[in-house]
Amino acid sequence: MFLVVLNTFFILFHQIASNDTIPRDKARVESWFEETIKPLQARKGTLEPALEAAEADPKIIRVMKSGGGDFTTINDAVKSIPTKNDKRIIVFIGPGEYHEKIKMEREKKFVTFLGDPKNMPTLIFNGNAAKYTTVESGTLTVDGDYFVAANLHIKNSSPRPDGKIKGGQAAAMRIGGGMATFYNVRFYGFQDTFCDDRGRHFFKDCYIEGTADFIFGNAKSIYLNTEVHCISGEQESWITAHAREMAESETGFVFVHCRVTGVGKGWYLGRAWKKFSKVVFAYSDLGPSVAPKGWESNHQPSPYE
């Protein structure tokens, strides 16, 4: 049953964006979510033909660090996925720490990274902007469409930037593929932890921590029931940095029934990266760490909405 839910999880974002509304009452969110997810059979004829075909016959690859699976590294599993893959590939990742830098190119679509919710694996790598550039520094980078991740820890172990050395930004992940979904995924880092680069994405029951601009990019994303954790510092800082450049663009970050946690004060919900940056917090617990002003324009002509 769990795999069935994960196979259809990515479909949810389209439904929310087109014809459904997340309940205002948080107590109703889980029942709404269960009612909204539809198995493939119930959606036949409403999806793109290539998408229906991909989900009809999924393949499972097992990665076990200690042996006993198809591969012992995630990179070897990714390499085994054919270029221009047209079937859902579920990469089940066994427990343990995987010290790897993983990248999936645009041609590798319909891939799921799935961990055990009772013993979640950790993807970890030490990479920073000085060596890779910020957007390429991630432990995990995905450019293929219809990516799904569930029950994972994703961490960049690069040290916290001290402001003295350039290039200390270090992403745990960058997602650049469209129609991606994340369930129970925890992202760890400091500055620029999560690059929500481009495409439409949906997050549920996730955790993202950082020190500055730690959710950034130009995607069109919904974050539902997600914890945004501010790591304390000596100066004021910012949670998001959205990069919408044109008024007619439909991109933006929307946080619904989320909570902002952390210690200290002076945290801004975001600062404008580009002229028309858009971020919305709805029905969310902002906590005492958030600065009363809320947003910072960052010298752009217009502030965040």
The band of 135, judged by pLDDT with boundaries at 50, 70 and 90, is very high
Is a pLDDT exceeding 60 seen at residue 302? no
How high is the pLDDT of residue 204?
97
Contact 122, 155 (CB under 8 A): yes
Q: What is the pTM of this model?
A: 0.91
pLDDT digits (tens, 9 = 90+) for 240-290: 999 888 888 899 999 999 999 998 778 999 988 888 888 999 999 998 889
DSSP-derived secondary structure letter, 17: H
Give the Å distances, CA to CA, from 84 to 37, 91, 114, 206: 27, 17, 21, 29
Q: Which residue has the tokens 């930004």?
A: 169
Q: What are phi and psi of 8, to 5 degrees?
A: -105, 0
Is a pLDDT exceeding 70 seen at residue 5? no
Q: What are phi and psi of 13, to 5 degrees?
A: -60, -40
Is a pLDDT exceeding 60 seen at residue 103? yes
Domain ranges of the chain: 60-210
Is a pLDDT exceeding 60 seen at residue 1? no
How high is the pLDDT of residue 244?
87
The band of 43, judged by pLDDT with boundaries at 50, 70 and 90, is confident
The band of 172, judged by pLDDT with boundaries at 50, 70 and 90, is very high
Strands 259-262 and 295-296: unpaired
pLDDT digits (tens, 9 = 90+) for 82-99: 999 999 999 999 999 999
**Who has greater pLDDT, 166 or 80?**
80
Active site residues: 213
Is a pLDDT exceeding 70 seen at residue 40? yes
Strands 237-242 and 200-204: unpaired
Query: 60-210 in CATH: which number?
Result: 2.160.20.10
Q: Is 56 helix (H, G, I), strand (E, B) or coil?
A: helix
**Who has greater pLDDT, 220 or 305?**
220
Is a pLDDT exceeding 70 seen at residue 298? no
